[in-house]
Amino acid sequence: MSKVRVFAPGTVANMGCGFDVMGMTLDGVGDVVSVEVSEGDDLEIENRSHVELPDDIEKNVITPAVRALMAAYGEKRMVKFVVEKKISPGSGIGSSAASSAAAVYALNVALGRPFTDERLVEFAMEGEKLISGGTPHADNVGPSLLGGVVLLRGYEPLDIVRLPVPDNFCCSVAHPEIMVSTRMAREVLPKEIPLRTAVKQWGNVAGLVAGLALGDVHLVGRAMCDVVVEPYRKRFIPGFDELRVKVLAAGALAMNISGAGPSVFTLSADMDVAERVGEIMREHFAEQGIGSDIYVCKVSNQGARVLND
């Protein structure tokens, strides 16, 4: 029998303008998944978390991700997972992605590493397909598995580009106690956008990638502007525009919705600013009668990893 315990970090998908194609890795926040592999042919998932997960295994994001891996592996095994969720589902910081990323990473190690980390991204994406209403995307599972900032240049075939993370890249994330499902946050989006809007957005995505490649955090901040998705999703976040005015005045370079929301994140070039901005975000939601969890951290270059007990 082979046993492996893995941590996979939370992530900020989209990074503002890069809907479904950009994501970055948070430091210290994430899920832990253990796996035991033995002879046989079955899948079990045990939840040892403070958060509820679906009783039906078919509704757990780990299931399609693991089935995809085992189908590619081509041999049968008894696979038993224990999930310790540290990120609340529906938070917008890659909760489901962290679980499926940790599960496929752990299983790959237990099987003797037959697959590359990039291939694991393809398997973990199947979990995202389950919760998003049918669209597989890798802007959470990519950074959760690989670490750093990840660009999905294309999906058919999957073309993953890992971008450099500037040293002074500080992130403040506020997770307000509001429920917004990924499925709902995707259903409100338009199926088509005007060319003028697309021109603004691809200028920003190009600016974001250039800013990362050049290590220019101010260019990154200017480019983190989403004219396609944010207008439809910000209605779920009370006082979104007002909060942005406050955090920019406090020195943040940009503020956007994290993934499908309701978390919001800011980027700062200085940890003191990031800490102050975190407090402003907490106060903002408290004024609206909404509690929030605040995370202030650097963007991490480390993705999923084995834990030594």
Does position 34 interact with ligand HSE (CB under 6 A)? The reply is no
Min CB(22)–ligand HSE separation in Å? 9
DSSP single-letter state for residue 48: -
Min CB(104)–ligand HSE separation in Å? 17
Give the interface size with ligand HSE as a residue count (CB under 6 A): 14
Angle at 161 between CA 157 and CA 167, to 5 degrees: 165
The residues, ordered by sequence, that sit 6+ positions from 132 with a Cβ below 8 Å of its Cβ are 182, 183, 186, 260
Integer angstrom CA distances of residue 247 from 70, 109, 141, 175: 46, 42, 28, 15
Angle at 79 between CA 120 and CA 86, to 5 degrees: 65
Closer by beta carbon to ligand HSE, 100 or else 266:
100
DSSP strands (E only) in the chain: 2-13, 22-38, 42-47, 78-84, 149-155, 158-163, 170-176, 254-257, 264-268, 292-298, 305-306
Among this protein's residues, is 128 annotated catalytic? yes
Q: What whole-number distance in Å separates Cα of residue 274 and Cα of residue 279?
A: 9
Closer by beta carbon to ligand HSE, 106 or else 152:
152
Min CB(137)–ligand HSE separation in Å? 5
Min CB(109)–ligand HSE separation in Å? 25
Does position 142 interact with ligand HSE (CB under 6 A)? The reply is no
Per CB under 6 A, the segment of 42-50, 178-186, 218-226, 271-279 that binds ligand HSE is 178-186
Among residues 128, 156, 187, 242, the one annotated as catalytic is 128
Closer by beta carbon to ligand HSE, 35 or else 126:
126
Does position 140 interact with ligand HSE (CB under 6 A)? The reply is yes
Min CB(27)–ligand HSE separation in Å? 19
Per CB under 6 A, the segment of 131-139, 145-153, 158-166, 283-291 that binds ligand HSE is 131-139
Does position 138 interact with ligand HSE (CB under 6 A)? The reply is no
DSSP single-letter state for residue 33: E
Does position 20 interact with ligand HSE (CB under 6 A)? The reply is yes
Read off the tokens for 182.
């990924």
Among residues 11, 25, 63, 182, the one annotated as catalytic is 182
Assess contact for 101 and 68: CB atoms under 8 A.
Answer: no
Does position 121 interact with ligand HSE (CB under 6 A)? The reply is no
Residue from 9, 136, 148, 259 binding ligand HSE (CB under 6 A): 259
Buried b (16+ CB within 10 A) or exposed e, 259-282: bbbbbbbbbbbeeebbebbbebbb
Min CB(196)–ligand HSE separation in Å? 22
Does position 182 interact with ligand HSE (CB under 6 A)? The reply is yes
Q: What whole-number distance in Å separates Cα of residue 91 and Cα of residue 149?
A: 20
Nearest to 166 by CA among 203, 206, 205, 213: 213
Greatest CA separation for the chain: 59
Closer by beta carbon to ligand HSE, 117 or else 128:
128
Residues that bind ligand HSE (CB under 6 A): 13-14, 19-20, 128, 132, 137, 139-140, 182, 185-186, 259-260
Which residues carry out catalysis?
128, 182
